Amino acid sequence: MNLYQILQNFHSGWAYLTLLMGVLFVLMIGYFAFSKKARTAGITKLSFFATLTFHIQLLVGVVLYFVSPYAQFTENTMKDATNRLYAIEHPLMMFAAVVLITIANAKLKKSESVPMSSFILGLIALVLVLSRIPWSTWLG
């Protein structure tokens, strides 16, 4: 097994945890924000671990990007949907999602109650992740 396969397997497996943490983040932050509840230690920890999970996924993804045979820029990158997904769309959307979840976590830490903006940013981050997962790789 080479470095690319190891990273790809880790990145694919860790993606399940990242999705789970993203969903938990959105559900719990949404519940607290809509209920106008005060921030608790549990919600702060959940937010931290969700953010950490996203960051680890991003770091592995960045390394994988540079060793991947799929993320190549050629004259056909924009013409081929698969190549465009791996070379441009997936990395950019995942980076944006990590930035948004990081901002949501920072807003949460600075507030006594759970701000609605943290929920909205987390929701957008989750939608970005779901929109650019290479589902064909996952499902078949």
Per-residue model confidence (pLDDT) at position 73: 78
**pTM, full prediction:** 0.91
138, pLDDT greater than 80: no
Count the residues in the chain.
Answer: 140
Q: Which two tokens stand for residue 112?
A: 């006594």
23, pLDDT greater than 60: yes
Range of the domain at 33: 3-139
Contact at 8 Å (CB) between 47 and 105? yes
Greatest extent of the chain over all pairs of C-alpha atoms, in Å: 53
Contact at 8 Å (CB) between 40 and 133? no
Q: What is the pLDDT of residues 58-114, one digit of tens each?
A: 999 999 988 887 777 778 888 888 888 888 899 999 999 999 999 999 999 999 999
Task: Count structural domains, the chain.
Answer: 1
